[in-house]
Amino acid sequence: MDRVHVMELFGFPIQTIYLCTLIFSGILIILYVFFGDIADGIGEGSFLNPVLILAFLTFLSGAGYIFEMTTSLNSVVILLIGAGIAALLDILLNIFVLIPLSSAEESLVYTDDSLRGRVGTVLIPIPENGFGEVLIENISGRISKPALSYENMFIAEGSKVLIVEVKNGVIKVIDYKEL
């Protein structure tokens, strides 16, 4: 479409600014995916999620570029429409992708204290005064830990055991008889 007046910002056509912002924010998102853990460590405690900020810029510049190239709307109107679209997509990204990912990541974490009282299966027999191995099954996966008998008794492979104590990454177990 022929436009009578092309809006310029800093001496550049607005379409060029939208396109450059789209490319730059897209590159930053890719870099953040690879090096995000380092950035998270530096900005510990920040309430602004860099993924949401970069995604907003990407969505805004993408929508702005498409509307500038395909419609004859005023550039300010296009900026407002693009901001609305970007905000909506950002909210959807946060609700349906980022929040579920962060809670899934946390569900895989366990502490030594959380193992106490759990039931496991002996993988490698536990000899008297020696080490064996126990498999603990969970909704989020399986954990295999070195084990000692709490009562210094032999526990055979395949036996169910109750975790009594966890010390230095080694679990102390007793033979578990289901009622």
Q: How many domains does the chain have?
A: 2
Look up the domain containing 163 and give its range: 112-175
pLDDT score, position 161: 94
pLDDT score, position 39: 60
Output DSSP code: residue 10.
T
% of the chain at pLDDT higher than 70 = 84
Strands 131-138 and 141-149: antiparallel
Instruction: Tell whether the model's pLDDT for residue 5 goes beyond 70.
Output: no
Instruction: Tell whether the model's pLDDT for residue 101 goes beyond 80.
Output: no
Q: What is the spatial distance between Cα 28 and Cα 15, in angstroms, rounded to a whole number? A: 20
Final residue in a domain of this structure, among 57, 72, 107: 107
pLDDT digits (tens, 9 = 90+) for 16-54: 999 999 999 999 988 887 887 666 655 554 557 788 899
SS (H, E, C) 97-142: HHHHHHHHHHHCCCCHHHHCCCEEEEEECECCCCEEEEEEEECCEE
pLDDT score, position 112: 77
pLDDT digits (tens, 9 = 90+) for 132-147: 999 998 776 788 899 9
- Residue 60 shares a structural domain with residue 127: no
Q: What is the spatial distance between Cα 91 and Cα 110, in angstroms, rounded to a whole number? A: 30
- Residue 156 shares a structural domain with residue 99: no
Average pLDDT, the chain: 84
Q: What is the spatial distance between Cα 144 and Cα 131, in angstroms, rounded to a whole number? A: 13
Q: How does residue 97 score in pLDDT terms, banded at 50, 70 and 90?
A: confident
Buried b (16+ CB within 10 A) or exposed e, 158-174: ebebebeebeeeebbbe
Dihedral of alpha carbons 71, 73, 77, 79, sign: positive
- Residue 94 shares a structural domain with residue 21: yes
Instruction: Tell whether the model's pLDDT for residue 105 goes beyond 70.
Output: no
Asked if residue 155 is part of any domain, the answer here is yes
- Residue 97 shares a structural domain with residue 117: no
Secondary structure element (H or E) that encloses residue 62, with its range: helix 50-70
Final residue in a domain of this structure, among 83, 107, 131: 107
pTM for the full predicted model: 0.56
Tally of residues, the chain = 179
Q: For position 151, which CATH number holds?
A: 2.40.50.140
pLDDT score, position 1: 45
